[in-house]
């Protein structure tokens, strides 16, 4: 089968290639998916560039991408929750990475039936960003009438988080640049802050939750806007101590300033690792079918133009997700 593979770390155009590889075989708990569409996320680009070598070292060649939608064409003998012919979507686990291919095997508990009211392309755009947003906001215990600041409401994770928080009945502040203000408002955000002309810190104050999708200074600044006893969840900031311990970094300490800010505000800081989860995708399916959440696609590329899709991703200019139609 045809697959887009990472052949080495380096520039996108030099490090990705189409290869003919053998079709994967199902293990007991796997489903084999005929891929209809895949989507790429910032992590896919970072993997090619070698930025994640320490955390997620690759063996070359390695088929790229995690997000997928398609049709189940075979199931392992331990699978009872899916049938051949099911239309599904998934964020595949790390060890099964490789959705930019004609077929992919996925452990059944990372898979869900896809929403019935959207296309394969739209469905493929959801899993990674959707699971990241859902798991972050659920960790923060989001509930009705909470005030939340979501950074970068126009990003893949941010745009999903805005809609998810609204569906939960929260009051949503979000930041974005001038060009994106209007469509981010359409996602339902209560107060869209144009960071080019406004100071978000003077607008979003005493919030219950900050969802940090930007990192750098924003992680620390989160504690300036969060209320006493609030929560800061981050997907790009420094690791928190318990997450670091999970990775075997026993001596890891939270950066001093962040630890102090967190303690001064008695506000919990948590780094969220998205984990593949079919049950969560099933929850998202219902929300999409009930139109509480929409997929936002920047562009759909044919499989043959996957490398151009990566270049577009790397440009950082996409408004919404970049999807690749496989078949």
Report the DSSP beta bridge partners of residue 231. Answer: 209, 268
CB-wise, 113 or 319, nearer to other proteins? 113
DSSP 187: T
35: nearest Cα among 87, 81, 82, 113: 87
- From the CB of 236, what's the least distance to other proteins, in Å? 32
Comparing CB distances to other proteins, the nearer of 83 and 253 is 83
Q: Which is nearer to other proteins, 206 or 291 (CB)?
A: 291
Residue numbers at the binding site for other proteins (CB under 8 A) = 36, 69, 83, 85, 87, 114, 116-121, 123, 289-291
Rounded-to-integer distance, Cα 15 and Cα 311, Å: 12
Residue closer to other proteins (CB basis): 224 or 289: 289
Strand 30-40 vs strand 321-325: parallel, antiparallel, or unpaired?
antiparallel
State in angstroms the smallest separation of the CB of 286 from other proteins: 9
Work out how close the CB of 85 gets to other proteins at its nearest, in angstroms, rounded to a whole number. Answer: 5
Q: Which residues pair with 30 in a beta bridge?
A: 107
Contact of 307 with 181, CB cutoff 8 Å: no
Strand-pair partners of 71: 34, 87
CA distance 44 to 256: 31
- Least distance to other proteins from the beta carbon of 250, Å? 47
**Inter-residue contact 111 to 31 (CB < 8 Å):** yes
Q: Which residue has the tokens 């979501």?
A: 150
Nearer to other proteins, 90 or 213 (CB): 90
Residues 185, 178: Cα–Cα separation, whole Å: 12
- CB of 76 vs other proteins, minimal distance in Å: 20
Residue closer to other proteins (CB basis): 118 or 322: 118
Identity of the residue, 53 or 182, whose beta carbon is nearer to other proteins in the bound complex: 182
Q: State the minimum distance, in angstroms, from the CB of residue 73 to other proteins.
A: 11
Residue of 70, 66, 219 lying closest to 156 (CA atoms): 66
Tell the smallest beta-carbon distance from residue 87 to other proteins (Å).
5
Asked if 72 and 83 touch (Cβ cutoff 8 Å), the reply is: yes
Cα–Cα separations (whole angstroms), residue 120 to 36, 62, 291, 297, 300: 6, 24, 16, 12, 11
């Amino acid at each position: 089968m045809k697959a887009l593979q990472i052949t080495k770390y380096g520039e996108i155009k030099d490090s990705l290639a189409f290869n003919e590889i053998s079709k994967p075989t199902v293990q007991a708990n796997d489903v084999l998916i005929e891929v209809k569409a895949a989507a790429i996320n910032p992590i896919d680009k970072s993997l090619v560039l070698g930025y994640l070598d320490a955390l997620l070292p690759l063996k070359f060649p390695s088929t790229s991408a995690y997000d997928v939608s398609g049709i189940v064409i075979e199931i392992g003998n331990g699978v009872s929750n899916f049938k051949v012919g099911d239309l599904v979507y998934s964020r595949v686990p790390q060890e099964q990475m490789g959705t930019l291919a004609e077929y992919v095997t996925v452990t059944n508990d990372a898979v869900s039936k896809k929403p019935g009211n959207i296309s394969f392309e739209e469905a493929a755009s959801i899993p990674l960003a959707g699971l990241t947003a859902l798991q972050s906001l659920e960790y923060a215990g989001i509930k009705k009438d909470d005030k939340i600041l979501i950074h970068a409401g126009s990003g893949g994770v941010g745009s999903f988080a805005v809609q998810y928080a609204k569906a939960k009945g929260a009051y949503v502040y979000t930041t974005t640049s001038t060009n994106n203000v209007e469509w981010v408002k359409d996602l339902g955000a209560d107060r869209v802050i144009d960071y080019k002309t406004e100071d978000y810190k003077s607008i979003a104050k005493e919030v219950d939750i900050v969802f940090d999708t930007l990192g750098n200074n924003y992680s620390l600044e989160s504690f300036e806007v969060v209320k006493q006893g609030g929560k800061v969840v981050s997907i790009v900031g420094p690791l928190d101590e318990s997450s670091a311990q999970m990775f075997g970094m026993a001596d890891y300490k939270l950066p001093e300033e962040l630890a102090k800010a967190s303690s001064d505000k008695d506000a919990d800081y948590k780094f969220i690792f998205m984990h593949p989860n079919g049950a969560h995708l099933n929850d998202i399916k219902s929300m999409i079918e009930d139109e509480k959440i929409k997929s936002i696609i920047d562009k759909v590329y044919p499989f043959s133009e996957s490398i151009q899709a990566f270049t577009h991703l790397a440009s950082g200019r996409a408004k919404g997700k970049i999807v690749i139609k496989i078949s």
